Amino acid sequence: MAVDYKRALAAYKIGAEGGNAPCQHQLGYMLSEEGYGCGVDYKQALVWYEMAAAQEFPLALLYLGTMAYFGKG
């Protein structure tokens, strides 16, 4: 079964805009790793990771550190 990345992106965006930290993190991940369904956009990914990190979501904190380490965003 194929993953519908565009549909997943739309669903995560709704949750992320509503303040849901896991959705913010996942949206950042989709934008930063392989560009699943949207293309790679490190600057936008950073915005979503920062929003999730502000809520102390552990994975977002990790990915912010990883992006900083590798100079992305």
- pLDDT tens per residue, range 23-42: 999 999 999 877 777 889 99
pLDDT grade for 63, boundaries at 50, 70 and 90: very high
* pTM for the whole structure: 0.89
Cα 69 to Cα 64: distance, rounded to the nearest angstrom: 9
pLDDT at 73 over 80: no
pLDDT grade for 66, boundaries at 50, 70 and 90: very high
User: What are the start-end ranges of the E strands in 3-57?
Assistant: none
Q: Report percent pLDDT > 70 for the chain.
A: 99
What are the residues whose beta carbons fall under 8 Å from the beta carbon of 62, sequence distance 6 or more?
A: none
CA diameter of the chain? 35
Q: Report percent pLDDT > 90 for the chain.
A: 77
3-state secondary structure of 52: helix
